[in-house]
Amino acid sequence: MTSSHPTLAAAPTDPWRIGDTQLTSRFLLGTAGYPSPEVLRAAIEASGSQVLTLGLKRTLGTTGQDNGFVQIIRETARVQGAHLLPNTAGCRSAREAITLAHMARELLGTRWLKLEVVGDEQTLQPDPFELLEAARQLVKDGFEVLPYCTDDLVSAQRLVDAGCRILMPWAAPIGSGLGLLNPWALRTLRARLPGVTLVVDAGLGAPSHAAAAMELGFDAVLLNSAVSQSRDPVGMARAFRDAVQGGRQGWRAGLMPTSDVAIATTPVGGQPFVLP
C-alpha cells in the first residue's frame, strides 16, 4: 500500500501485516466521540494511522444525524491510504456477531473484522466462549478475524487454534483510560505466542501507556477515547503516534535488564577518598 501522507513517509521502516496487507503505522485509531467531523479528519491525519475502526447501527432504529462523520472517515481513509476495520460492537452472542460481520463485509467491502462479543455489561469484558464460537465460524467464512479479547492466555491460544492470526487483548476496560492493568499477563501473552501478531486494544489513556505496550513487544495499539475525549484530539493523536513509534523503537533496541539493587554507573572504582 502507498500513501502520500507525510507522517507515514517519516515513519521508520518496520512493517507489520494484517492478512496480506503490509502496514507501517502501528497505531490503529477509533473514530467515535470526536467533537466534529473536521476534528476527526485532522486527528486521523495527525495520527498517521493506516487502520480506522467503524461500527454498524440500525439505520432506522436510532434518532440523530450522522453529521457526515462516516463520509469524512471514508474520504480521509482514501486520501491517507488507510484501511477500514469494522467492529461488531454491541453484540452479546456469537450469532449476532456473525450476522453483523457479514453486513459489515457487504457495506464496507473488507473482510477484516474487529470481533467483539461482550459478556458483562459493567466491564464490557469480552465473552470468551461466544467470542471463540464466532471466531471459528467467521474464519471459515473467509474473514480476517481480529478478536477483541481479554489477556487470558488459554483463551488466546484457543482463538489462535480457531485460525485468528491477530489477537487484540485489552489493557483495561473499554473507555476506562486505566492503562496496562496487568502487564504480567500481557508479557506472558507475548512470550507464549511469539508468532502471533498482538495488538493492545482498549483501556489506554495516555501516550505513556501506548509506549509501555509497545515496549512489551506488542505489534500495535488500538485506541479511541484517549484521543477523542482529550482536550485537543489532534495534538493527542500526534502524541500517541510518537509514543507508539518510541515504544516500538525501544523494544527493537532492547531494554536493559532490571535489577532490585543499584548498580553503579560511573566507573570510579570505589569511594574517591578511601584507600583500598
Partner 1 sequence: MSPDFLTIHTDRGPLRLPVGSTLADAVGLLLQAAPDAATVATAVNGEFVARSARADHALHDGDTVLCFSPITGG
Catalytic residues: 114
Considering beta carbons, is residue 227 or 239 the nearer one to partner 1? 227
The stretch among 14-22, 63-71, 187-195, 244-252 that binds partner 1 (CB under 8 A) is: 63-71
- Residue choice 32, 153, 178, 196 for contact with partner 1 (CB under 8 A): 32
189-248 positions binding partner 1, by CB under 8 A = 202, 223-225
Least separation in angstroms between residue 30's CB and partner 1 is 3
Give the span between the Cα atoms of 271 and 246, in whole angstroms: 37
CB 69 within 8 A of CB 15: no
Give the span between the Cα atoms of 250 and 238, in whole angstroms: 18
Kindly state whether residue 140 participates in binding partner 1, applying the rule CB under 8 A.
no
120-139 positions binding partner 1, by CB under 8 A = none
What does the angle CA 116 – CA 173 – CA 119 come to, to the nearest 5 degrees?
Answer: 45
The stretch among 54-62, 130-138, 152-160, 185-193 that binds partner 1 (CB under 8 A) is: 54-62
- Residue choice 2, 6, 20, 60 for contact with partner 1 (CB under 8 A): 60
Q: What is the DSSP string of 178-192?
A: ---S-HHHHHHHHHH
Least separation in angstroms between residue 149's CB and partner 1 is 15
Report which of 263, 230, 264 is spatially closest to residue 43, judged by C-alpha positions. Answer: 230
Instruction: For residue 98, report the phi and psi dihedrals to the nearest 5 degrees.
Output: -65, -45
Report which of 59, 156, 52, 160 is spatially closest to residue 112, judged by C-alpha positions. Answer: 52
Total residues belonging to the chain: 276
Interface positions with partner 1 (CB under 8 A)? 30-34, 40, 53-61, 66, 69-70, 73, 86-87, 89, 95-96, 98-100, 102-104, 106-108, 174-175, 202, 223-225
